[in-house]
């Protein structure tokens, strides 16, 4: 089985300590041979570089496509409808223009990512080769292993030889470790960027012939009002894939019914939310009922009632509210509260039940607060969460990892198509190793729950649950059930410092750490 880049990095870091502290010839020989047994950085830099150049070589053609679309847009279009669901031709051309621009960015960014990976890998392999030469020279200096009784005594000459060999081997394993770090970092950056570009090839995610290309393009391009359009797209990559598959699986009569719903929608946003409900696993009758509650509502109303998170920019911290009430926890319900909001992100029918009540029309923030409270405590019971206090003053007091995994599977899994698996984080290497899975999940629109811990001034441990809901340019968007979202660097996450998304109590000065991550598994 091939070692991962993170595995090599961890093994070689441990071997650095073994070699530098080896107190006998035989211990040193064993450590050197173990280091030589760790595989070198794998991959063909020239092949990767050629692939990167093929990507960048497509930019001119993509530019030409973009120019032709822009010329059509500048000429102006009559107010005509196209596609199976009555999309305005001008909207389709606008969506095509933005899609072409994303295609250019994907070719450019993907090509650069691959060329950068090729360069880093070539340098890492060279550095690794240099280090292996030093290790082999050190091994040759030491000769054969000492016998059982020989190993009991080391004269001055033997000690001097061992120390010289140990120094050379230390330099060699340092080179191997540095090469492994460089290769691992480069591979993670390339995987992050390529996964994101793949997820942003949005119209192609909806793999169905039951909707015209114009419909698929317009749906993939639709965003909520307020904030950056790209950061507030209604249909995630996962939504597009699941809704396309759902359309394929409908009977002809149900498909025609769904197409009528879409054609009668009063705005692109309304149409996108109908497809998001289908993606979340609801049947056409349930989507139709949901559609009746949102039909004719303007885009601002849809955003406020159906999107618990609105992102203004990819920096800093933002409050998330319905009216004047935050999407925030009551008592110690951080696990169920973050799960409630995560489900509302992927399930618009559920979001409307919280914000608008049974008929979807209740705009009172106080009533929203009560429904949110009740749902947090329902999930707390579902996950067998703890309670403190007497019956007249009973309050939630946390949930264990089994309960968290259970409610993630029950409340999120049916609407994303996956289940959750607990992964313990014992340090930066574990968090670094799981980062590509986190990036891929959130790029596809699948929230990732995780837990953090800290120590108080008395040495007592405390925990808190958060949710990763976005990723952009080396940063993660973190939802905190205190009612905020914050952009945190991936390096801070790897180092276990989530104080920017919480407060100083979770800084490294207070032993703040990321202790557990729940990753979706197909």
pLDDT digit string, tens, across residues 299-353:
999 999 999 999 998 889 999 999 999 999 998 899 999 999 999 999 999 999 9
Instruction: Give ∠ CA 35-40-42 in degrees, rounded to 5.
Output: 155
User: How far from 169 is each of 5, 7, 382, 448, CA to CA, in Å?
Assistant: 22, 21, 56, 42
Position 62 scores a pLDDT of: 61
Instruction: Give the per-residue pLDDT at 277.
Output: 97
First to last CA, the chain: 22
pLDDT tens across 224-253, in order?
987 788 889 998 889 988 988 898 899 999
The residue assigned the tokens 């450590």 is 31
Question: pLDDT 10s digit of each residue in the chain, 522 long?
Answer: 467 888 899 999 999 999 999 988 899 999 999 999 999 999 899 998 898 888 787 766 766 655 554 554 445 544 444 444 444 445 544 544 566 566 667 777 788 888 999 999 999 999 999 999 999 999 999 988 876 655 566 678 888 998 999 999 999 999 999 999 999 999 888 888 887 777 666 555 555 555 655 566 667 778 898 778 888 999 888 998 898 889 889 999 999 999 899 989 998 899 999 999 999 999 999 999 999 999 999 999 999 999 999 999 888 999 999 999 999 999 889 999 999 999 999 999 999 999 999 999 999 999 999 999 999 999 999 998 888 877 767 777 788 889 999 999 999 999 998 888 888 888 888 899 889 889 889 988 999 999 998 888 888 888 899 999 999 888 999 999 999 999 999 999 999 999 999 988 888 877 777 887 766 555
Q: Report the pLDDT value the prediction gives residue 520, as an integer from 0 to 100.
A: 57
What does the pLDDT look like over 477-488, one tens digit per residue? 999 999 999 999
Q: What is the dihedral of CA 432, 438, 440, 443, to 10 degrees?
A: -130
Q: What is the pLDDT of residue 77?
A: 42
What confidence score (pLDDT) does residue 71 get? Answer: 54
Determine the Cα–Cα distance for residues 268 and 234; give it in Å rounded to an integer.
10
Q: What is the distance of C-alpha 338 from the center of its chain?
A: 16
In angstroms, the CA 491 to CA 190 distance is 16
Helices 365-382/348-356 angle, 10° precision: 130
- The reported pLDDT for the residue numbered 72 is 44
pLDDT number for residue 302: 96
């Amino acid at each position: 089985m091939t070692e991962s880049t993170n595995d090599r990095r961890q093994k070689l870091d441990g071997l650095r300590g073994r070699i530098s502290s080896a107190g006998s010839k035989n211990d040193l020989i064993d450590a050197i041979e173990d280091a030589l047994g760790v595989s070198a950085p794998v991959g063909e830099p020239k092949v990767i570089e050629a692939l990167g150049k093929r990507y960048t070589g497509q930019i001119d053609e993509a530019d030409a496509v973009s120019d032709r679309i822009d010329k059509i847009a500048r000429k102006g279009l009559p107010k005509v409808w196209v596609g199976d669901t009555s999309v305005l031709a001008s909207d389709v051309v606008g969506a095509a223009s933005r899609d072409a621009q994303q295609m250019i960015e994907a070719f450019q960014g993907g090509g650069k990512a691959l060329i950068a990976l090729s360069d880093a890998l070539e340098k890492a392999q060279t550095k690794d080769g240099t280090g292996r030469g030093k290790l082999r020279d050190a091994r040759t200096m030491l000769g054969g292993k000492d016998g059982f009784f020989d190993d009991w005594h080391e004269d001055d000459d033997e000690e001097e030889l061992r120390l010289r060999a140990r120094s050379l081997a230390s330099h060699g394993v340092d080179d191997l470790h540095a090469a492994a770090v460089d290769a691992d970092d480069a591979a993670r950056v390339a995987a992050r960027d390529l996964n994101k570009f793949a997820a942003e090839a949005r119209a192609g995610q909806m793999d169905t012939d039951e909707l015209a290309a114009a419909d698929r393009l317009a749906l993939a391009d639709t965003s909520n009002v307020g904030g950056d359009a790209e950061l507030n797209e209604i249909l995630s990559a996962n939504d597009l894939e699941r809704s396309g598959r759902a359309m394929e699986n409908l009977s002809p009569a149900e498909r025609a019914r769904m197409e009528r719903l879409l054609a009668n929608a009063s705005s692109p946003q309304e149409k996108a939310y109908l497809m998001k409900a289908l993606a979340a696993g609801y049947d056409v009758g349930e989507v139709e009922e949901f559609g009746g509650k949102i039909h004719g509502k303007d885009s601002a109303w849809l955003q406020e009632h159906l999107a618990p998170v609105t992102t203004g920019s990819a920096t800093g911290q933002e409050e998330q509210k319905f009216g004047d009430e935050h999407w925030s926890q009551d008592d110690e319900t951080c696990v169920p509260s973050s799960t409630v909001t995560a489900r509302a992100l992927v399930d618009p029918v559920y979001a409307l039940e919280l914000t608008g009540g049974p008929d979807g029309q209740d705009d009172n923030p106080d009533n929203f607060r009560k429904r949110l409270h009740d749902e947090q405590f329902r999930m707390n019971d579902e996950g067998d969460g703890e309670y403190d206090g007497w019956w007249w003053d009973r309050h939630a007091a946390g949930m264990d990892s089994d309960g968290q995994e259970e409610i993630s599977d029950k409340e999120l899994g049916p609407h994303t198509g996956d289940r959750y698996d607990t992964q313990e984080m014992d340090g930066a290497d574990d968090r670094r190793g799981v980062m590509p899975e986190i990036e891929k999940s959130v790029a596809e629109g699948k929230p990732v729950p995780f837990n953090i811990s800290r120590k108080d001034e008395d040495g007592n441990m405390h925990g808190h649950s958060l949710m990763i809901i976005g990723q952009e340019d080396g940063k993660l968007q973190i939802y905190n059930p205190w009612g905020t979202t914050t952009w945190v660097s991936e390096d801070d996450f790897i180092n276990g410092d989530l104080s920017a998304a919480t407060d100083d109590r979770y800084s490294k000065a207070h032993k703040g750490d990321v202790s557990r991550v729940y990753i979706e598994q197909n």
